[in-house]
């Protein structure tokens, strides 16, 4: 299987490069710039892509270009900082740009380019810029293939060596023809497009079998897409060696437990047991308001419950299956804890306790949500499981901002049920929203209910549209649907007198509120 190695210099868009390559049905992995050469070359890449980054090549302690990059004799694409560090190392000149560019810019593509598809060459297009430095002089044997009014060298290349540089970000949706440019680079590098669901399934099965051998495995299932597909994949690989636990934490949505049990019993023939642990989770969260603390407490409690139940059943399980996907890893710790900011701790990534009795099996760890769904379909899972909207592992605890109490959970649960019901009835759940939910805020506001003054809590509604869950736009739901949801919540949920709708994009906001 052909692959691409992405060398990460700290760009906020690095994961999007991986998304675009995967969309082209090519396998890739993302590596911090200082990763050992043996590890990078271990995936036997046929091309290298150098990401952007926030540094200047002249800064002290700026990321450097690893020696193996230029000696690899592979096709190379440098993006933004990746282009600058290439030029800096092979005889070009990089200088501070007279005008810093952040946002859309009109780029003129020259006709003498091997990188740009034919229909782009000689034309202008919108590209996304984000830079303070730029290449002022191309290295020997390179020529300029694109420019703009403020940046004379927007693209450069050495076609004989198949080394290309782009000052703009083709991986960002705002860049016209961005995906086409990346795909044309892959074509120029003669890379086969063979990263498909069937291949992913077969490769994962063989890997799981080689890791597990004859040992026992338990799976943490929540009913969500990720844990369901991970469980199905492991079950396909090892059959009855797998036992599944569903923990009713008391932090689930309306009717969640019954729905999950029914779905698993109807569609998956495996060892499955429900553990009722609502009181334990509510007690451990008592008085806790810090979201990171909530996540860590829930993550640790999950593991302790699994350990206890495995011991009760006399199981000698060595492995624990989790539905960790790539955005979870990115948001929890990035590719390197010292080089990227942690956005939040996911209970199944950074929220795990230091002492873990199990070895983890995370077959989806390097997959994006759309890839997970394709794998689920390839495994024969029904649409009701594959296309279920995401629900966070910590459950309603992270949508109940402030202290988590049984009364506040009931309030949130009812409001969320109303929202889901109305969106479903209007046929907006799958095609108009990728994820939708209610959030209970630890804020009270004055209202008038009947002839009396009220002072009650606020519900925020959140609905987003996204392909990869790395970026997202707010869903433009019809006003009449929002009005109906609001009216029902205020009339039917005791303790709420105000409903607001979140119209923030990701970034800068996250999809969940915390």
Contact 196, 25 (CB under 8 A): yes
Asked about 371 being catalytic, the answer comes back as no
Query: What residue has token string 């105000």?
Result: 498
**Spatial CA neighbour of 374 closest among 149, 201, 216, 249:** 201
| The two structure tokens encoding residue 34 | 């200082």
Active site residue: 28, 131, 151, 169, which one? 169
Buried b (16+ CB within 10 A) or exposed e, 313-347: eeeebbbbbbbbbbbbbbbbbbbeeeebeeebbbb
- Alpha carbon separation from 489 to 116, 430, 438, 454, 457 (Å, rounded): 53, 22, 10, 15, 12
Q: What CA–CA distance (Å, rounded) separates 31 from 10?
A: 10
**What Rg do the C-alpha atoms of the chain give, in angstroms?**
25
Query: CA quadruple 76, 470, 306, 383: dihedral positive or negative?
Result: negative
- Say if residues 74 and 66 touch (Cβ distance below 8 Å): no
Which tokens in the block code for residue 360?
A: 């983890």
Angle at Cα 336 formed by Cα 174 and Cα 39, nearest 5°?
A: 100
Q: Which residue of the set 29, 157, 171, 300 is catalytic?
A: 171
| CA atoms of 174 and 16, how far apart (whole Å) | 12
Q: Which residue has the tokens 């506001």?
A: 445
Residue 184 designated active-site = no
Q: Verify whether residue 403 is a known catalytic residue.
A: no
Whole-angstrom Cα distance, residue 440 to residue 448? 19
Q: What is the DSSP track for 326-385?
A: HHHHHHHH-S-TTTS------TTTTTS-SS-SSEEE-TTTT--HHHHHHHHHHTT--HHH
φ/ψ of residue 375, rounded to 5: -65, -40
Which is the catalytic residue, given 28, 29, 80, 346?
Answer: 80
3-state secondary structure of 443: strand
Half-sphere exposure in the Cβ direction for 441 (13 Å, CA):
18
Name residue 218's beta-bridge partners. Answer: 243, 320
Ramachandran category for residue 44: left, alpha or beta (phi over 0 → left; psi -120 to 50 → alpha): left
Structure tokens at 156: 């450069």
Strand ranges in 138-229 using DSSP code E only, listed in sequence order: 143-147, 155-158, 163-166, 217-221
The residues with which 77 forms a beta bridge, in sequence order, are: 49, 164
Any idea which residues carry the catalytic annotation?
A: 80, 169, 171
């Amino acid at each position: 299987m052909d692959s691409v190695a992405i060398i990460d210099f700290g760009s906020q868009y690095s994961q999007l490069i991986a998304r675009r390559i995967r969309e082209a049905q090519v396998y890739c992995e993302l590596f911090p710039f200082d990763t050992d050469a043996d590890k990078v070359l271990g995936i036997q890449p046929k091309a290298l892509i150098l990401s952007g980054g926030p540094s200047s090549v002249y800064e002290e302690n700026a990321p450097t270009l690893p020696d193996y990059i230029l000696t690899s004799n592979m096709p190379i694409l440098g993006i933004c900082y990746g282009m600058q560090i290439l030029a800096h190392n092979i005889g070009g000149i990089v200088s501070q740009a007279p005008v810093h560019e952040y946002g859309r810019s009109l780029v003129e593509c020259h006709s003498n380019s091997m990188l740009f598809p034919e229909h782009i060459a000689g034309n202008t297009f919108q590209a996304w810029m984000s830079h303070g430095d730029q290449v002022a002089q191309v290295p020997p044997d390179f020529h300029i293939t694109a420019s703009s009014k403020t940046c004379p060298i927007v693209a450069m290349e050495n076609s004989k060596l198949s080394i290309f540089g782009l000052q703009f970000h083709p991986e960002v949706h705002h860049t016209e023809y961005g995906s086409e440019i990346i795909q044309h680079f892959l074509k120029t590098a003669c890379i086969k497009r063979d990263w498909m669901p069937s291949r992913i399934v077969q490769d994962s099965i063989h890997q799981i079998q080689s890791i597990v051998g004859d040992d026992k495995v338990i799976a943490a299932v929540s009913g969500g897409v990720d844990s369901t597909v991970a469980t199905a994949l492991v079950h396909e690989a090892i059959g009855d060696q797998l036992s599944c636990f569903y923990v009713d934490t008391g932090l689930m949505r309306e009717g969640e437990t019954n729905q999950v049990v029914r779905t698993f019993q109807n569609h998956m023939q495996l060892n499955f047991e429900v553990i009722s642990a609502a009181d334990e989770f509510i007690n451990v969260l008592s008085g806790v308001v810090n979201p990171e603390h909530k996540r860590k407490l829930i993550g640790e409690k999950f593991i302790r419950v699994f350990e206890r139940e495995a011991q009760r059943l006399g199981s000698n399980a060595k492995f624990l299956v989790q539905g960790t996907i790539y955005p979870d890893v990115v948001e929890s710790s990035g590719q390197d804890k010292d080089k990227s900011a942690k956005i939040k701790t996911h209970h199944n990534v950074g929220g795990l306790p230091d002492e873990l009795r199990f070895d983890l099996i995370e077959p989806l760890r390097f997959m994006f949500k759309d890839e997970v769904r394709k794998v689920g379909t390839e495994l024969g899972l029904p649409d009701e499981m594959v296309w279920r909207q995401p629900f966070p592992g910590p459950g309603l605890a992270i949508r109940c901002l402030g202290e988590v109490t049984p009364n506040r959970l009931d309030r949130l649960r009812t409001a969320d049920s109303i929202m889901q019901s109305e969106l479903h009835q209007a046929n907006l759940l799958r095609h108009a929203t990728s994820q939708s939910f209610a959030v209970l805020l630890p804020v009270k506001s004055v209202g008038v209910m009947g002839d009396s003054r009220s002072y009650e809590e606020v519900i925020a509604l959140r609905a987003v549209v996204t392909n990869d869950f790395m970026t997202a736009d707010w869903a433009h739901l019809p006003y009449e649907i929002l009005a109906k949801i609001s009216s029902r919540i205020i009339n039917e949920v005791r303790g709420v007198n105000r409903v607001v709708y979140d119209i923030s994009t990701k970034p800068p906001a996250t999809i969940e509120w915390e």
